[in-house]
Amino acid sequence: MLATLIAPSLLTSTYPGLPRGTLDFLAELGSHNSREWFQAHRGDYAASFLEPARALVRALGERLPELGTGIRAEPKVFGSILTINRDVRFSADKTPYKTHLDLWFPQGEGPSRERPGYFLRLKPESLLLGAGMHVFHDAALEQFRGAMQTDETRAAELDALASRLEPAEVGGQTYKRTPQGLPADHPRAGWLRHSGLFAQSERELGPEVFSPALVDLCMAAFGRYQPLQQWLVDLLDS
């Protein structure tokens, strides 16, 4: 059941939208992706990336209770603002910084990366919004596979939820074949090829991104994916 709606008149009344300087900073970083350039522009990072990210997390944090309980919005790096530093240990691309802004709003108790959540990715040319889990941790993967094989009610619910979305919106199927030890002829073998489960959509940037309407745009997308998100929350908490 959805949480009680917060009165719109009390929400995000002072949120102005993203400044265009955020996109300028990301575009410049894409052209000068080096530690030397970043250190010389740390003031721009703070003013054009970090502070706008904090403001958006606070604004969305006021509205996220409309989607359910236990959704965390922490306006800090390693909270809802994912670090701009790239993990280059296992990547052929050794550029040190991401050229996009990632926000993450996990739902439920436990480490944030072990919970489903709502997410946002801002690139200089587009905005991606979604919900779910990109990668299941071991226990979640076992729960998901078990539900697909033995819990007809829960599996049928997921089938119905996915049918209401466009096929391209539903992600997480990374295996080309059913993993070893799982029945390849199972009626839900497609779900058994998933290593995560999420729904998302991407759009070109419009003027609403630079206005208070950005929060409504995000909430509309999150609301579209809320049933899938809640299905995952219920599964992990069962």
Which of helix, strand or coil describes residue 198?
strand
pLDDT single digits (tens) 60-112: 999 999 999 999 999 999 999 999 999 988 888 899 999 999 999 999 999 99
In a domain, 22, yes or no: yes
**So what's the pLDDT on residue 93?**
87
Q: Note whether residue 10 is domain-resident.
A: no
Please check the confidence at residue 5 and state whether its pLDDT lies above 80: no
Tell me the percentage of the chain whose pLDDT exceeds 70: 95
E-assigned strand segments in 49-177: 101-106, 117-122, 126-133, 170-173
Q: By residue range, what is the domain housing residue 20?
A: 15-236
CATH number of the domain that 28 lies in? 3.30.930.20
Q: What is the pLDDT of residue 14?
A: 86
Share of the chain above pLDDT 90, in %: 91
Torsion of CA 77, 104, 39, 123, to 10 degrees: -160
- Tally of domains within the chain: 1
The two three-digit tokens of residue 168, written as one number = 């391209």
Answer yes or no: are the C-beta atoms of 116 and 96 closer than 8 Å: no
Q: Please check whether residue 227 lies inside any domain of the structure.
A: yes
pTM of the model: 0.92
Q: Is residue 90 part of a domain?
A: yes
